[in-house]
Amino acid sequence: MSETNENKVSDVEWRQRLTDEQYRVLRQKGTERAFTGEYWDTKSAGVYRCAACGEPLFSSATKFDSGSGWPSFWQPLGSDSVVTRVDLSHGMRRTEAECGRCGGHLGHVFSDGPEPTGERYCLNSVALALDPDDSGGRGADGE
């Protein structure tokens, strides 16, 4: 995980940087409604970055249609770009996915994804920003 000042950003600064919906999801662990986000059905190539801090998180090469209504990926770009935590909210036990740089809430990870990982990172579109020109949009094997 890269050392940044993102963990030292005050709540007031986050409110100024983010839209109301981004703040609700990224900082208050909210969820956007299924099939409403900008990226749930996007097929464009590029790198998905954290909408709060710009950290590269996922390659479009690992995005797949899960049928859930949220953008879904089977693998993050790097081992420290996304961190996971146990989430016991709403009477369930889930695995929360957070930005490894700023700690922003991205969504949840489930074990019903495709091979090779079997994981489904089910994310909120509002927590992401697609960078279509980023060369990191190649596949996980660099092709």
Catalytic (active-site) positions: 122
Q: Which of 97, 14, 101 is nearest to 55 (CA)?
A: 101
Place of tokens 């994981």: 119
The radius of gyration of the chain from alpha carbons, rounded to an integer in Å, stands at: 14
28, two tokens: 């208050």
